[in-house]
C-alpha cells in the first residue's frame, strides 16, 4: 500500500516457459493454447506493463517478438509500458529506442520516457538503481494519472479507454491442422 492508498499486484511471465506454445501459435495460423490465451488476457487487462528482453543480434529476442506478435494488436492501446533490456555490452543500449519503442508505438502503448538498459558492467551500479527508480516512478505516475501524465493528445484517458481484449476467443476443442489434413494426398482429389 502506498502513501496515496493504492496497492499493486504484479505478475511475472517467463516467456521461456511458453516458447513451444508460441511456436505452435505461429505455425497454426494464430490459434492460441489455453495458457497462451490466459497470458494474452493478462496482458490485455494490465494497468501497466514492464517489458524486459535480453539483447540478441542488436535487437529484442525472437521469443520476445513472438510473444508480442501473439498479442492482439489492440490489447495494449493506451497501456503505460516501461521498456528494459540487458546485454553484455553497452554498445547495444540503443535497442530501447530503435527496436522496443517502435514495437510498442505500433501497438499504441504509452512508453514512459525513461527506459532501463543494463550491460554487464552496470549491475550493482548506483546509476542503474537511479534509472530503475526514475523509470518506475514514471510508470507508476502513468498508471495512476489515468492519462494526465502523457503529453496531451498522445494517450487516451486510461479510465475512459474502451475495454481491451486479448483477441478472438477460440474454442478449446480445436481440431489440430495435422488431423484435418491426415489422409489428404495434396492432389486435389482427396
CA dist 48 → 6, 43, 85, 117 (Å)? 14, 9, 17, 19
Is the pLDDT score of 6 beyond 90?
A: no
Nearest to 154 by CA among 94, 95, 104: 104
Residue 147 has a pLDDT of: 47
DSSP code, position 40: H
Is the pLDDT score of 158 beyond 50?
A: no
Look over the chain and give the mean of its residue pLDDT values, rounded to a whole number.
Answer: 85
When pLDDT is averaged across residues 85-104 and rounded to a whole number, the result is 95
C-alpha–C-alpha distance, residues 107 and 110, integer Å: 9
Q: What is the pLDDT of residues 64-79, one digit of tens each?
A: 999 999 999 999 999 9
C-alpha–C-alpha distance, residues 177 and 5, integer Å: 50
Q: Model confidence at 182, in pLDDT bands (50, 70, 90)?
A: confident
Residue 164 has a pLDDT of: 58
CATH number, span 18-149: 3.40.50.360
For the whole model, what pTM was predicted? Answer: 0.76
Residues 6+ apart with CB under 8 A from 189: none
Domain boundaries, the chain: 18-149
Residue 180 has a pLDDT of: 73
Amino acid at each position: 500500500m502506498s502513501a496515496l492508498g493504492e496497492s499493486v499486484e504484479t505478475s511475472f511471465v517467463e516467456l521461456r516457459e511458453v516458447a513451444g506454445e508460441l511456436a505452435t501459435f505461429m505455425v497454426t495460423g494464430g490459434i492460441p493454447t489455453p495458457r497462451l490465451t490466459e497470458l494474452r488476457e493478462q496482458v490485455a487487462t494490465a494497468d501497466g506493463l514492464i517489458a524486459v528482453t535480453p539483447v540478441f543480434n542488436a535487437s529484442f529476442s525472437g521469443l520476445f517478438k513472438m510473444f508480442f506478435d501473439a498479442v492482439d494488436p489492440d490489447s495494449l492501446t493506451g497501456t503505460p509500458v516501461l521498456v528494459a533490456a540487458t546485454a553484455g555490452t553497452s554498445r547495444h543500449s540503443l535497442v530501447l529506442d530503435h527496436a522496443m519503442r517502435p514495437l510498442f508505438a505500433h501497438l499504441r502503448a504509452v512508453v514512459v520516457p525513461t527506459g532501463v538498459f543494463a550491460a554487464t558492467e552496470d549491475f550493482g551500479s548506483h546509476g542503474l538503481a537511479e534509472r530503475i527508480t526514475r523509470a518506475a516512478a514514471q510508470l507508476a505516475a502513468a498508471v495512476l494519472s489515468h492519462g494526465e501524465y502523457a503529453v496531451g493528445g498522445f494517450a487516451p484517458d486510461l479510465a475512459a479507454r474502451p475495454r481491451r481484449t486479448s483477441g478472438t476467443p477460440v474454442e478449446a476443442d480445436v481440431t489440430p491442422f495435422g488431423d484435418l489434413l491426415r489422409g489428404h494426398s495434396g492432389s486435389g482429389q482427396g
